[in-house]
Structure 1
Amino acid sequence: MCSDSLQSEDLRSSSDSDEELPVFDFLQPRPSTDVASQKAPKKPASSVLCSVGSADVMMISSDSEDDVPLAQRVKLRQERRSTPEEADDLPHRHLSASETGDATKATKRSAEEIRASREEALRRRQARERRQQDREALKQEQERQKAERRALAEASKALRPEECIKHMVVAVDPALLQLEGGGTLLASVQALGCSCAIEKQPLPRSVTWARQAPSAQQNGAARVPEPHVVMQMTVEDFITLTHNYIQEERHSGSACSPTLTSWVRERQRLHPDKRLSLAVIELESYFRARKSRSQKRLRAAVAGEEAGGGKEKKKRRSGHAEKLPEVSRVEVEEAVVHLQLHTGVSVRFLSTWKEFSDHITMTTKAVAEAPFKRAREQTGFSFYLESEWAGGQRVDKAGKGLLQAWKRQIQQFNRVSSDVAAAILAAYPSPQLLKKAYSQCRTENEKLSLLSDLLIRRGEGVTSTTRRVGPELSKRLFLLMHSRDPEQNLDASL
């Protein structure tokens, strides 16, 4: 069917030879791929009927390709297209092969560089670690110096009078707390604001002190013991040791029994780093009992009473007091003076346990403030006889301190002691009251001698003395209060 149509179309084309065949664009050769077709002139294509095998195939040919079949022509064109690409790829393939050695060298060079870079990184890391260690060491040194400065500042602050009592530790022997006034002593120490420790002491019934010194270490403050020791001595021990001393002195020989002085010396030998002081409580009860017994014996001797059953019962009731030897007040004073001269140990006689607690409290304050006072005396000038005097007197808004300011104003006069100023203050506590007393005087001589008869008391007890202010000081105070001349000489006579 197809061949018939083709034949008919062929016959039609042959019959009409003058008619030109159509030209198809897709059958024309491309200029980029077919170089020969670009050089040859274009000719009209013609169609040819060929037989391949048993099938009839229409072949399209041109004059330039010498009637090459279409399939072969297409294959030829594909080969032509692939040939420039492979040709272009050959230089690239050749370059890639030539670069293989350079890549290997680059790989080897990179490994060496990596090794060098690792060594450099290790050196840098070690340098960083050394710098870090140096920084940490410097930081630790700075922190240590800062801690030392802080400790020094805290230690200096701890010596101040308002702060030193907080850093004191009062160590009390347990045997002292078991006595009658142990509870009162413990309460007084705790009320003072310092620390209290109940520890067994080398000397029985004694009280010692320690100071908590601030330290730069993290474990807290160091505890520095103080040399002061206060020992409570019973009346029985004190009377017995005093009696032994009196017997030794009277017989002018060495006694086998220890005396008050020898007993204290032995304690000083065992504890050379301690400053011992003794406290005797209720010694007056011994003297009262002794006086009562003497009076009873005197009444019995006067009445002529003989020893009987009743007297035996009294002895049994007061058997403990009767066992103590007879010692007088004069003998006690003699033994105490001998003790203080040869050992430097003082004895304080107290009436009650409350007074003993107050004595421990005052001793605690004195021990706490002692370093501050010593440092102040060392830093002060030699011509300042009293450091407190140079500092003046502080007066607050409520008027506290005015009395002391008036007292110091009186003490500015020559040869005016604290006792003299205290006597004037007792009569006239303020300058206004003294001025009012002057205004009530009628004559000038009465004003000048207003303070002459004021009594000045010195000392306490049987050793106290009294004297009068005198007209000289009375006249100087009058001039101070009434003179209008700023250059007035207070020592000059009127």
Structure 2
Amino acid sequence: MGSYSDCTSDLDEELPVFDFLQPCRHLSQASQTTTQKPDLVNLEDSDAEHAVISSLKKESSDTSPAKGKPTKRMAEEIQASKEEALRRRQARRRQQQDREALRQEQERQKAEKKALAEATKALRPEECIKHMVVSVDPALLQLEGGGTLLASVQALGCSCCIEKQLIPRSVSWIRRAPCAQLHEGECVPEAHIVMQMTEEDFITLIHNYIQQERHGRSDCSPTLRSWVEEQQRRHPSKTLSLAVIELEKYFRLQKLHNQKRFREAVAGADVQGEKARKKRKHGGAEVLPEVSRVEVEEAVVHLQLYTGVSVHFLSTWKEFSDHITMTTKAVAEAPFKQEKEKTGFTFYLESEWAGGQRVDKAGKGLLQVWKRQIQQFNRVSPDMAAAILAAYPSPQLLKKAYSQCRSDGAKVSLLSDLLIRRGEGVTSTTRRVGPEFSKRLHLMMHSCDPELTLDSSL
């Protein structure tokens, strides 16, 4: 029989040793630490305790052989992470959309500025003619001077198109947008229309006007005014002007015909021969009604007063081509001139007055300032201002002269006898300033009322 020690040694060899007291050792160590450091708060004890428990849970989870489905907490964490990723993705998408919208807005503003700069540049006199299109009616090109007209327009530097116009034998204008091709959406038609009226139509319409105005005939024949009013009623947005070519030829032939008739009447020519000669046409003057120059001028003035339409009399087709060229330039430069005239003043400023008068440090220019102040009065010429300047070169000297006068009447009439000289040499004339302007200048120098109207106080 062996001893007890032998049995225990055998058991130690066969059985594994488990350290069941390890948690307790940890607790004992923690308690020892607590006893050694009594100054720490109890929160440190609880943290240590939680750390121990969490380590035990981790060890138990690592040693557990079962690997099943994720717990409910893990599923919630996964869903929350998915939602967070979705929110981040949507935020990035919104940021990209905002950046894209900002980029498009900047490009749009840049394009608008560029278009505005091009439009402003297109209004300049040296550039505007390039954006004009002259529309010519085909009937004009079939006449005698059609080729001259087309050559003049092309030499001007603008575009030209041949198409049927609203009014026969007329020329109209179209303004093309900058950097645009010639198509309907980017072209703006101008209001001006120039019509070439034939000599026969013009004389016939004037003859009908004379018959209606002087002789009281109210037949259905159109007059010059009624025909123009009909065109204005059909095209209310257009500004019409007429051009008549070679009207002087009609007057020359009419004069020759009248002289011939007078000679035949004096010579006692028979009536039958006269009727036979009337049937022959001499340049078309005998088949047209007779209208004098005075009647033509009367009809043209009447037309312009009641309709605002002007008539241009041209001698040759070359003059008609030049007239179309000058009208093209005027129509092209009209917007630029209108913008230039917008000065913000309700009155007209001349170029020499608009810039003012410069005065240097030495006082040079003060004399011209005083002269301009005098010329601001109504009905004051430069000669009158120069006469006052010769007597009183500054406002201070004039005020000193007023102070030396003994009465108010002497002050009012101080400038009345100043002589104003006009011209030089033997053709020069003189006159006096007069009491009217003398009184106005005295009121300007002494009145304390800023709203006083000088002319009404006379």
Same fold? TM cut 0.5: yes
Residue from 366, 391, 394 that aligns with 2:330: 366
Contiguous gaps of at least 5 residues in structure 2: 1-59, 357-379, 384-420, 431-458
1:229 matched residue in structure 2? 193
CA drift at 1:260? 0.6
Secondary structure of the structure 1 residue equivalent to 2:165: coil
Secondary structure of the structure 2 residue equivalent to 1:165: helix
CA drift at 1:253? 4.3
2:139 matched residue in structure 1? 175
- C-alpha deviations, 1:40-90, integer Å up to 9, x for none? xxxxxxxxxxxxxxxxxxxxxxxxxxxxxxxxxxxxxxxxxxxxxxxxxxx
The separation in 2 between residues aligned to 1:312 and 1:452, in whole angstroms, is 68
- The 1:372/1:308 distance shift into structure 2, 3 A limit, reads same
* Residue pairs, 1:195-210, within 5 angstroms: 195-210=159-174
- Tell me which moved more, 349-358 or 125-134: 125-134
The separation in 2 between residues aligned to 1:286 and 1:177, in whole angstroms, is 23
The separation in 2 between residues aligned to 1:361 and 1:199, in whole angstroms, is 18
Question: Does the 8 Å CA contact 1:161/1:372 hold for their aligned counterparts?
Answer: yes
The separation in 2 between residues aligned to 1:326 and 1:96, in whole angstroms, is 128
Q: TM-score, normalised by structure 1?
A: 0.55
- The reply on whether 1:321 has 2:280 as its aligned counterpart is no
The separation in 2 between residues aligned to 1:136 and 1:97, in whole angstroms, is 52
Question: Does the 8 Å CA contact 1:169/1:210 hold for their aligned counterparts?
Answer: yes
Secondary structure of the structure 1 residue equivalent to 2:220: coil
Residue from 121, 127, 136 that aligns with 2:91: 127
The separation in 1 between residues aligned to 2:184 and 2:282, in whole angstroms, is 55
Quick one: percent identity of the two aligned structures?
Answer: 73
CA drift at 1:381? 4.2
- The reply on whether 1:238 has 2:177 as its aligned counterpart is no
Question: Does the 8 Å CA contact 1:380/1:387 hold for their aligned counterparts?
Answer: no
2:108 matched residue in structure 1? 144
The separation in 2 between residues aligned to 1:449 and 1:269, in whole angstroms, is 54
Question: Does the 8 Å CA contact 1:148/1:216 hold for their aligned counterparts?
Answer: no
Question: Does the 8 Å CA contact 1:212/1:221 hold for their aligned counterparts?
Answer: no
- The 1:97/1:390 distance shift into structure 2, 3 A limit, reads closer
2:232 matched residue in structure 1? 268
The separation in 1 between residues aligned to 2:327 and 2:304, in whole angstroms, is 19
CA drift at 1:344? 1.0
* Residue pairs, 1:345-356, within 5 angstroms: 345-356=309-320
- The 1:264/1:383 distance shift into structure 2, 3 A limit, reads closer
Q: Which of the pair has more CA radius of gyration?
A: 1
CA drift at 1:263? 0.7
The separation in 2 between residues aligned to 1:216 and 1:283, in whole angstroms, is 42
The separation in 2 between residues aligned to 1:349 and 1:111, in whole angstroms, is 99
- Tell me which moved more, 315-324 or 113-122: 113-122
- Tell me which moved more, 252-261 or 208-217: 208-217
- The reply on whether 1:340 has 2:307 as its aligned counterpart is no
- C-alpha deviations, 1:174-233, integer Å up to 9, x for none? 21122111111111111112222222211111111222244999x998322221111110
- The reply on whether 1:166 has 2:130 as its aligned counterpart is yes
Secondary structure of the structure 1 residue equivalent to 2:176: strand
1:298 matched residue in structure 2? 262
- The 1:181/1:319 distance shift into structure 2, 3 A limit, reads closer
Question: Does the 8 Å CA contact 2:204/2:289 hold for their aligned counterparts?
Answer: yes
CA drift at 1:242? 0.3
2:247 matched residue in structure 1? 283
1:154 matched residue in structure 2? 118
Question: Does the 8 Å CA contact 2:208/2:222 hold for their aligned counterparts?
Answer: yes
CA drift at 1:313? 6.9
- The 1:353/1:100 distance shift into structure 2, 3 A limit, reads farther
Q: TM-score, normalised by structure 2?
A: 0.59
Secondary structure of the structure 2 residue equivalent to 1:252: coil
For 1:316, give the aligned amino acid. Answer: R
Question: Does the 8 Å CA contact 1:245/1:335 hold for their aligned counterparts?
Answer: yes
Question: Does the 8 Å CA contact 2:245/2:313 hold for their aligned counterparts?
Answer: yes
Bigger RCO of structures 1 and 2 (CA < 8 A, at least 6 apart): 2
Say what the alpha-carbon RMSD is for the aligned residues.
Answer: 4.1
Question: Does the 8 Å CA contact 1:350/1:356 hold for their aligned counterparts?
Answer: yes
2:13 matched residue in structure 1? none
Question: Does the 8 Å CA contact 2:191/2:237 hold for their aligned counterparts?
Answer: yes
- The 1:319/1:284 distance shift into structure 2, 3 A limit, reads closer
CA drift at 1:289? 1.4
2:445 matched residue in structure 1? none
The separation in 2 between residues aligned to 1:384 and 1:302, in whole angstroms, is 62
Secondary structure of the structure 1 residue equivalent to 2:349: coil
The separation in 2 between residues aligned to 1:123 and 1:382, in whole angstroms, is 63
CA drift at 1:164? 1.7
CA drift at 1:119? 4.7
The separation in 2 between residues aligned to 1:221 and 1:391, in whole angstroms, is 43
Contiguous gaps of at least 5 residues in structure 1: 1-94, 393-412, 417-447, 454-469, 474-494
CA drift at 1:384? 5.5
